């Protein structure tokens, strides 16, 4: 059961976005988010939606995968829609029921909000989650933020922590499985009882898991020391990220997209 958890939502492929420099992708995502929030007129909404559809098409991520993300934010979408429908006041009253008045403006506003949220979710997940491996994302973040080292922000340390966390997720999941089986073999029951009882049943899993995680951490630290790790200072990297013409083309396209939405 626990083995099914995938690392992030990375969907391997070879589309334009898969090949884009992770640093550029982070910038593109920020541009995209700003653009989506700046959309106001009907025309700009059309451009926003068209752009998002194009984004999904180019990424070649199956539509089913992209829309599956909706389940998690369905509540927020419905909540926003309901709030907008019933609380927006306008001039064109559609119908009235007791103290509840629904205006045409409210419906339009709700539609816009839902569209915006949907675009935001699909666009960013296609740009970042589905087309960037977690390791590339960490790497991109470290390099993009490296100027912040000047103001003593521990950028390298943060990236190192992310990398190690990603590395140990499968290991610790495997370990959890093992401990669970060991406890089950001694008669532990994780499936019955109320919430509190089930939460209590998890304690005999969590304690050995934590103990072993700390022991692993100690051993890993020694092994890293043996491999001459001494923080980010003076460290070089094997892979050199170089921006390709494609990255610059994408960047200009996104800037044009954002400017278009803001102006129209």
Q: Is 8 left (phi over 0), alpha (psi -120 to 50) or beta?
A: left
Residue 240 interacting with another protein (CB under 8 A): yes
Binding positions for another protein, 81-100, rule CB under 8 A: none
Q: Which residues contact 133 (CB under 8 A, 6 or more apart)?
A: 8, 10, 12
Return d(Cα 138, Cα 140) in angstroms, integer. Answer: 5
Residue 227 interacting with another protein (CB under 8 A): yes
Output the smallest distance, CB 217 to another protein, in A: 9
The two structure tokens encoding residue 263: 């102006």
Q: How far is residue 133 from each of residues 11, 18, 129, 260, measured CA to CA in Å?
A: 8, 9, 8, 30
Residue 224 interacting with another protein (CB under 8 A): yes
Output the smallest distance, CB 70 to another protein, in A: 29
Number of chain residues interacting with another protein (CB under 8 A): 29
What are the residues facing 100 on neighbouring strands?
97
Residue 164 interacting with another protein (CB under 8 A): yes
Here's the x/- map for another protein, 116-155, by CB under 8 A: it reads as ------------------xx--------------------
- The window from 92-100, 144-152, 165-173, 252-260 that contacts another protein (CB under 8 A) reads 165-173
- The window from 13-21, 60-68, 114-122, 212-220 that contacts another protein (CB under 8 A) reads 212-220
The two structure tokens encoding residue 256: 């044009």
- The window from 54-62, 104-112, 113-121, 232-240 that contacts another protein (CB under 8 A) reads 232-240
Burial letters 99-134, b for 16+ CB under 10 A, else e: eebbbebbbbbbebbebbbbbbbbbbbbbbbbbbbb
- The window from 21-29, 54-62, 64-72, 213-221 that contacts another protein (CB under 8 A) reads 213-221
- DSSP notation for 52-86: HHHHHHHHT--HHHHHHTHHHHHHHHHHHHHHHHH
Residue 244 interacting with another protein (CB under 8 A): no
Q: Which of 47, 209, 216, 260 binds another protein (CB under 8 A)?
A: 216
Task: Name the residue nearer to another protein (CB basis): 4 or 91.
Answer: 4
Residue 178 interacting with another protein (CB under 8 A): no
Task: Name the residue nearer to another protein (CB basis): 7 or 249.
Answer: 7
Residue 22 interacting with another protein (CB under 8 A): no
Residue 189 interacting with another protein (CB under 8 A): no
**SS in 3 state form for 125-182?**
HHHHHCCCCHHHHHHHHHHHHHHHHHHCCCHHHHHHHHHHHHHHHHHHHHHHHHHHHH
Which spans of this chain sit near another protein (rule: CB under 8 A)? 7, 134-135, 163-164, 166-167, 170-171, 174, 216, 219-220, 222-230, 234-240
């Amino acid at each position: 059961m626990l083995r099914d958890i995938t690392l992030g939502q990375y969907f391997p492929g070879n589309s334009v976005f898969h090949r884009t420099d992770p640093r550029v992708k982070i910038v593109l995502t920020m541009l995209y988010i700003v653009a989506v929030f700046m959309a106001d007129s009907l025309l700009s909404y059309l451009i926003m939606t068209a752009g998002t559809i194009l984004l999904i098409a180019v990424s070649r991520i199956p539509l089913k995968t992209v829309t599956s993300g909706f389940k998690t934010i369905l509540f927020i979408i419905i909540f926003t829609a309901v709030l907008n429908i019933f609380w927006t006041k306008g001039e064109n009253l559609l119908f009235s029921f007791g103290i509840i008045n629904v205006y045409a403006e409210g419906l339009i506003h709700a539609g816009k909000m839902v569209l915006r949220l949907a675009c935001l979710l699909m666009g960013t997940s296609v740009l970042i989650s589905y087309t960037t491996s977690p390791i590339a994302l960490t790497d991109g973040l470290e390099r993009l933020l490296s100027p912040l080292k000047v103001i003593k922000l521990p950028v390298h340390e943060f990236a190192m922590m992310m990398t190690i966390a990603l590395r140990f997720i499968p290991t610790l999941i495997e370990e959890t499985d093992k401990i669970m089986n060991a406890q089950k073999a001694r008669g532990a029951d994780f499936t019955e009882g109320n919430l509190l009882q089930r939460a209590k049943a998890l304690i005999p899993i969590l304690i050995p898991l934590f103990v072993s995680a700390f022991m692993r951490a100690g051993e890993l630290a020694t092994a890293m020391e043996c491999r001459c790790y001494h923080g980010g200072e003076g460290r070089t990297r094997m892979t050199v990220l170089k921006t390709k013409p494609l990255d610059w083309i994408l960047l200009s396209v996104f800037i044009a997209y954002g400017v278009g939405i803001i102006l129209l």
